[in-house]
Amino acid sequence: MNLTLRKPTMPLQRRHFIALSTLAASAGSFRGALAASAPSEDSLKGWRQYEITTKVQVSEKTPRARVWIPVPVKHLENYQHTLDLSFNAPGAKKVELVAQPGSDVRMVMVEWADASAAQTVEITSRIATRDIAADLGGSGHERRLPAAALRPYLQPTSLAPLHGIVKETADRIQADAGHPRDAVGKARAIYEWIVANATRNPAVAGCGTGDVSYTLTSGNLSGKCADLNGLFTALARAVGVPARDVYGVRVEDSARGFKSLGKSGDITKAQHCRAQFHAEGLGWVPVDPADVAKVMLEEQPGGLPKDAPKVRAAKALLFGAWEGNWMAYNTAADVRLPGSERVEGFLMYPQGETANGRLDSLDPANFSYTIASRKLA
């Protein structure tokens, strides 16, 4: 079945989500394909292309089951395009590709109402990515975004308040750095502070909770990417620098020589959150202090000191640049799951529930789901 996007007839601000496509049952099977408005193949010369396949099977069979699966963002400035998206859910009651208004989050929602049905769904995405690096020493030529477009990236979220210890920490970092005036200087001070003071905690489940207040008050400035890059975003917003987390998954091994900063083939547990800040003339600037901490901990057995050459190389690279071996899902916070009362702080993992309650998104073996990546070009 070919699907086309239709302009919603209801004002977006009145709805928690909109259906980009809804499939009707046909012989007990759902099949859909949605081609994104994407650049031509000629314009993608030099870009990497990947096919990402996500398979979900609800192993706990009950009369009612529902899953929400993030799919790649349509477009992330200068870094990623989604070229094609298809999905198949035999035996489902309903399948929708939905979007949350006011954000770039998209997900496939599937519902089943028959415990004897095959409660499975398969989603295939084709994307293009490329390495990006901001010219931090140049004057910049990116178009200045209007204040209204940047305002959402200066707001608090449920996981990242901008008052109290967050604001106090952000102000102290800026004071110690000599009160830099521009966005790059402010962001760099925060990045340097996180790299110098935070550590990666391998005991943290998944990518962490992203709870910034807890990270700062726990007495142990550690966590994983959602915690440390989420901390960067909150501290930047607290001093007036627009910033955002970008949630996604690694799709290929690193070509830059970092064994710990890539994953190919089976990427079921390769989710990773990155971050960006916005600077006049430069646009959205990529950063990733959490991956510097990952290099310190995981690049070689026993870890590496902060002054090791590979750590210094990662630190220099990851303020202003990303390698194109990672796929972005979205930049959204406080994501409402349509048809449910649940609101997730971020959407980076498949989510699900049955008649018996919520499924553990961090336990893919028992949920169960797999994600696989294949390089196309």
Average pLDDT of the residues in 71-79:
95
User: From the CB of residue 95, how many other CB atoms can be counted at a distance below 10 Å?
Assistant: 21
pLDDT value at residue 137: 82
- Would you place residue 38 in the very low, low, confident or very high pLDDT band (cuts 50, 70, 90)? low
- Would you place residue 320 in the very low, low, confident or very high pLDDT band (cuts 50, 70, 90)? very high
Least confident of 10-19, 187-196, 344-353: 10-19
- 8 A C-beta contact, residue 234 and residue 370: no
pLDDT value at residue 14: 33
Q: Give whole-number Cα distances, 206 to 135, 162, 209, 214, 231, in Å.
A: 33, 25, 8, 17, 17
pLDDT value at residue 34: 56
Q: How far apart are CA 358 and CA 360, in angstroms?
A: 7
Least confident of 23-37, 267-281, 329-343: 23-37
pTM listed for this prediction: 0.91
- φ/ψ of residue 174, rounded to 5: -65, -40
pLDDT value at residue 353: 95
- Would you place residue 100 in the very low, low, confident or very high pLDDT band (cuts 50, 70, 90)? confident
Q: How far apart are CA 246 and CA 227, in angstroms?
A: 12
Q: How far apart are CA 48 and CA 37, in angstroms?
A: 18
How confident is the prediction for the chain on average, in pLDDT?
90
